[in-house]
Structure 1
Amino acid sequence: MLGYIWQYFYASFFRYWLKWFIRQVTGKCELQRICSGYKPGATRTTKAEYSLQSSKNKVLRNALQASSDDLEQCVDQIMQEKNVKAQKDPRFKESLQLCLFQITGYKSLYASVEDLRKEVFDSEKLEHETMLLKLWDLLMPTVKLESRVTKQWGDIGFQGDDPKTDFRGMGLLGLINLVFFSENYTDAARQVLFHANHPKLGYSYAIVGINLTEMAYSLLKSGALKPHFYNTILGKPELQHFHQLYCYLAYEFDKFWVAEEPESIMQFNHYREKFHSQVKAQLQDPNVSLTLTVHPKN
C-alpha cells in the first residue's frame, strides 16, 4: 500500500516539479536530456517512451499513437510545445523522431504478427500449400513425399499425417517462421532437424518450432522484446526482423536441449520453461541483442 501511495505521489507531484527544476538548471526539457544523454538504442528509446507516456501534455502522449507518416509533424509539435529551438539543439528532432519510429514501429509489428497468427492455415489455398511443400523440400531435399497426407510428415516433426492440424495455435505465423528459418539458414535448420531426429535426445522439430513461435509471440506481446528491437533496428522493425528473432530462438533452443540432455521428451515443458526464463533474463540487459550468429544462406 505504501509503495502504491509513493508511486502515485511521485507520478503526480514529485516528478513534475523535479523535471521543472532540472529544466531551470539545464535549460533543456526531459526529452532533450534523454536524446542528448544516451546513444541510439534501447536505453534512450525506453526512457523517451516512458517520458511521453508519463507526460500530462496531450500532444506528447498522442505522439505514441501516430502513424509513421505523421512522426515528423508530431516531433515539430512537441518542439513547439516544449519550446525547443532547432538552432540551439540541432540533433534533437532527428533523435526523437528515431525513437518514435522504433516505438510506433514495435506496435505496428505486433499488429502484423497478430494478423498472421490469426490467419488459419487453409489447405485449399494454393499459397499456403505451396509454403508447406516448400518446407518439406528445404528440409528433405533428397526425399519425395509419397502423397500430400502421409506419415512422412513425422520425419520433420509434425504430429499427424496432415500438418494443417498442428498450426491451430499459431496459425500461418508458425509455418512462415519454419519456412523462413529453413530458407535463410538452410544448413543450420537441417542441423537442428538432425538433432531433433536423434534416437535418444530427439524432439518433434516442427511442433517445437511452432511452440517457439508462441514463445516469440508472447515476448513480443508483453513488450519484453523492446530492448532487442530497439538495439538492433535503428528504425521501424518489420516482419522479417520478427522471423529473424524466431531463427535465433530455434537455433539456441536446439543447442540448449542438446546440452541439457533431457532423459525424455516428456520433460519438454520443464526445459521449455527453463529456456524461456533464460531468454527473459537476457532481455533484462539494456544492451541485449538476440542475433543469430550463423551465416545466412547466400
Structure 2
Amino acid sequence: MLMYFRGFLYNKYFRFWLKWLLRLLTRKCELQRVLEGSKAGARRTLSIEHSLESSKNKILRNAVHVEEAEVEKCVRDIMKEKKIEQKDTGFKTNLRICLLQISGYKKLYLNVEDLRKIPYDSDNEEHEDLLIELWNLLMPHGNLKARITKQWCDIGFQGDDPKTDFRGMGLLGLMNLVYFSKHYTDEARQILSHSNHPKLGYSYAIVGINLTEMAYSLLKNGALKSHLYNTVFGLPQMEHFHQFYCYLVYEFDKFWFEEEPESIMHFNHYREKFHEKIKGLLLDCNVILTLRDTKKP
C-alpha cells in the first residue's frame, strides 16, 4: 500500500514539477525533448505514447486513439496546443511517425483479431485452397488421396480433417502456416522433417497453430510494441505479424531440440518456458525479432 501511495505521489506531483522545471530550463515541451533526444524506434514512440496518455490535456490524451486518416490533423492540433511553430518540420515529421505507429498497432490487432474470429469453413473454396496449398508446399511429392484422410497427420494435424484443429485460432492459424511455408519453404520443410524425429518429434501443424496463439497474445497485451516500433516506421501491416510468427516457428524448433524434452507430454511446460524467453527478449527497447534478421550472416 505504501509503495502504491509513493508511486501515486510521484506520478501526480513529482512528474508535474519535473516537467515544469525542464520546460523552464530548455524552453521545450516534453514532446519536443523526447523527439529530439532519441532516435526513431521503440524507445521514442513508447515515450511519446506514455507522454500523451499521461497528459492532462484532452487533445494530447486523445492522440493515442486517432486513426490513420486523422493523424495529420492531430499533429497540427498538438503543435497548436503546445505552441510549436508549424514550420518545425522535424517535430511534425517525427510526431507523425510515432502516431502512425501507435494507431497502426491498434489497427493491426483489430485485423488479426478479425482473422482469428473467422472459423475454418470447408464449404468455403478460398479456405480449402489455402489448406491444399499448405499441403503442396510441405509435401511436394506426396499427393493427397482424399480431402479427408489420415495423410494430414504427416504434416502434424491431429486427425483426418484439419478443420477441427483451427477452432482456437480460426483462419489466422492457417494463414500463418501457409505464409511460413510459402516464404520460407526450405526452412518449413526442414522443420517438418525435424518434427518427425523418433524421440524428440512433435506435431508440426498443431505446434504451429499453438505459436499463432502465442503471437496473437503478445500482440494483444502490447508486448509486441517494441518489436514493431523498431521494425516499421509507419503503419505495421499483417505482413509484419506473419514475419514475427515465422521467427517464433524457427526459434521454437531450435529451442525444442536444445531442451531435449523427455516426451511430447511435457509440451505445455516447454511452451511456457519458450514463451517466457520471448517475453524477456521483447522487454528490450532495441529488439527486432524477425527470421530475416535472425538468418543474416
Does the TM-score normalized on the shorter chain lie above 0.5?
yes
- Kept after mapping to 2: 8 A contact 1:98/1:234: yes
Q: Counterpart in 2 of 1:15?
A: 15
Q: Counterpart in 2 of 1:263?
A: 262
* Structure 2 letter corresponding to 1:8: F
Q: Counterpart in 2 of 1:57?
A: 57
Q: How does 1:278-289 map to 2 (within 5 A)?
A: 278-289=277-288
Q: How does 1:3-82 map to 2 (within 5 A)?
A: 3-82=3-82
Shift of 1:12: 2.0
Once residues 33 and 294 of structure 1 are traced to their aligned partners in structure 2, the CA distance between those partners, rounded to angstroms, is: 31
* Structure 2 letter corresponding to 1:171: G
Q: Counterpart in 1 of 2:248?
A: 249
Q: Counterpart in 1 of 2:172?
A: 173
Shift of 1:294: 7.6
Q: Counterpart in 2 of 1:132?
A: 131
- Kept after mapping to 2: 8 A contact 1:42/1:230: yes
* Structure 2 letter corresponding to 1:56: K
Shift of 1:96: 0.7
Once residues 236 and 266 of structure 1 are traced to their aligned partners in structure 2, the CA distance between those partners, rounded to angstroms, is: 40
SS of residue in 2 equivalent to 1:17: helix
Structure 1 vs Structure 2: percent identity of aligned residues? 64
Once residues 116 and 192 of structure 2 are traced to their aligned partners in structure 1, the CA distance between those partners, rounded to angstroms, is: 24
- Kept after mapping to 2: 8 A contact 1:185/1:295: no
Tell me the number of residue pairs that the alignment of Structure 1 and Structure 2 aligns: 295
SS of residue in 1 equivalent to 2:137: helix
SS of residue in 1 equivalent to 2:291: coil
Shift of 1:295: 9.5
SS of residue in 2 equivalent to 1:272: helix
Q: How does 1:156-167 map to 2 (within 5 A)?
A: 156-167=155-166
- Kept after mapping to 1: 8 A contact 2:157/2:203: yes
Q: Counterpart in 2 of 1:213?
A: 212
Extract structure 1 runs of 4+ deviating beyond 3 A. Answer: 293-296
Once residues 157 and 238 of structure 2 are traced to their aligned partners in structure 1, the CA distance between those partners, rounded to angstroms, is: 25
Structure 1 stretches lacking a partner, 5+ long: none
SS of residue in 2 equivalent to 1:77: helix
- Kept after mapping to 1: 8 A contact 2:76/2:86: no
Q: Which moved more, 1:231-240 or 1:3-12?
A: 3-12
Q: Counterpart in 2 of 1:112?
A: 111
- Kept after mapping to 2: 8 A contact 1:35/1:95: yes
Q: Counterpart in 1 of 2:90?
A: 91
Q: Deviations over 1:132-184 (max 9, x none)?
A: 01000000010000100000000000001000000000000000000000000
Shift of 1:193: 0.2
- The 1:294–1:68 alpha-carbon spacing in structure 2 relative to 1, beyond 3 Å, is closer
- The 1:206–1:294 alpha-carbon spacing in structure 2 relative to 1, beyond 3 Å, is farther
SS of residue in 2 equivalent to 1:293: helix
Once residues 161 and 209 of structure 1 are traced to their aligned partners in structure 2, the CA distance between those partners, rounded to angstroms, is: 18
- Kept after mapping to 2: 8 A contact 1:167/1:175: yes
* Structure 2 letter corresponding to 1:182: S
Structure 2 stretches lacking a partner, 5+ long: none
Once residues 129 and 58 of structure 1 are traced to their aligned partners in structure 2, the CA distance between those partners, rounded to angstroms, is: 48
Once residues 136 and 145 of structure 2 are traced to their aligned partners in structure 1, the CA distance between those partners, rounded to angstroms, is: 13
SS of residue in 1 equivalent to 2:158: coil
- Kept after mapping to 2: 8 A contact 1:117/1:172: yes
SS of residue in 2 equivalent to 1:97: helix
- The 1:54–1:295 alpha-carbon spacing in structure 2 relative to 1, beyond 3 Å, is closer
SS of residue in 1 equivalent to 2:144: coil
Task: Report the TM-score when normalising by structure 1.
Answer: 0.97
Shift of 1:224: 0.4
* Structure 2 letter corresponding to 1:51: S
Once residues 65 and 292 of structure 2 are traced to their aligned partners in structure 1, the CA distance between those partners, rounded to angstroms, is: 34
Q: How does 1:218-229 map to 2 (within 5 A)?
A: 218-229=217-228
- The 1:215–1:135 alpha-carbon spacing in structure 2 relative to 1, beyond 3 Å, is same
SS of residue in 2 equivalent to 1:85: coil
Shift of 1:293: 3.3
- Kept after mapping to 2: 8 A contact 1:188/1:294: no
